[in-house]
Amino acid sequence: MYPAKFDYHRPSSVQEAVSLLQANPDAKVLAGGHSLLPAMKLRLAQPAALVDIGRIPGLSGVSLADGRLRIGPLTTHAELASSELVRQHCPLLAEAAGVIGDRQVRHRGTIGGNLVHADPASDLPAVVVALDGVLHLTGPGGERQVSAADFFVDLLTTDIQPGELLTAIEVSTLGAGSGSCYLKFEHPASGYAVCGAAAIVQLDGSGRCSGARLALNGVSVKPVDAGAVTGALVGQALDDATIDQAVDAHLSIQDPMGDIYASEEYRQALARSYAKQALKLARDRARG
């Protein structure tokens, strides 16, 4: 099918893009386009205008400062997966980016478009939550920062306000004694996560858990931050039984999703299984 008629704008700066979004309340931002353009062709989305930010300088690339990675929203999944900086300091992000879609999607899709679209079955939202991500937004009122935990509000809904543009993503780096893992049970046709688990484990000198993070995709309308599970692991010697017990006792998914492919009960069972597997593999990687 063909999309409905729309105006096309190609700003050359962030401020020009913000002005266009402010002047066109029904406009949509075009980054990689892998979610927006198919929806437009099916007429599930009919924006009055597209604001193409693909040629704005400074919105792509990865840099390291003060123990955190700063990522431009136009950075593609393929660039994240292959970046030596990301692979060295944040292997969880590189691992997740490397299993998104197929090669064509990874070379065109962007981290910014992925996060703003907020598909519950997407791979990166839970990863950014697990990495204590911070999203930088620029709008008519200036700049503001939103934690990833607060950014995802509901199904395909984020905290971005009218006229705002995502201009950077910051995530924590993983130091010595840390291990991470992203695992997903994917839909065989689309590659989307029926359930995805992003896990980080930090071990102290005695081999006990000094910190951990766990977040899940695909099982609810927004990423599940399983802080109760990881809180129960801190201070513990992480044998398999301890991890299993923490997940069984503390993993809670409010309003789990269900559809014709996977029921609510099935997704909850997947969440428990993949949470355990991801935490154990992250632990093993932390041990080196």
pLDDT digits (tens, 9 = 90+) for 212-266: 999 999 999 999 999 999 999 999 999 999 999 999 999 999 999 999 999 999 9
Q: What is the pLDDT of residue 288?
A: 87
Q: How confident is the model over 17-33, as a mean pLDDT?
A: 95
Is pLDDT at 161 greater than 90 in this prediction? Answer: yes
Q: What is the pLDDT of residue 55?
A: 94
pLDDT of residue 142: 97
Task: Provide the CA 232 distance to its chain's centre, in angstroms.
Answer: 24
CA–CA dist 120, 155 (Å, integer) = 7
CA distance 93 to 174: 11
With bands split at pLDDT 50, 70 and 90, how would you rate the model's confidence at 267? very high
Tell me what the mean pLDDT of segment 61-85 comes to.
97
- Can you give the pTM of this predicted structure? 0.96
Percent with pLDDT over 90 in the chain: 96
Q: CA separation (Å) from 102 to 64, 135, 218, 271?
A: 28, 26, 18, 24
Residue 281's pLDDT is 98
Phi/psi for 278 (5° steps) reads -65, -40
Domains in the chain, CATH or no CATH each: 7-50 (3.30.43.10), 62-172 (3.30.465.10), 178-287 (3.30.390.50)
State mean pLDDT over 158-163: 97
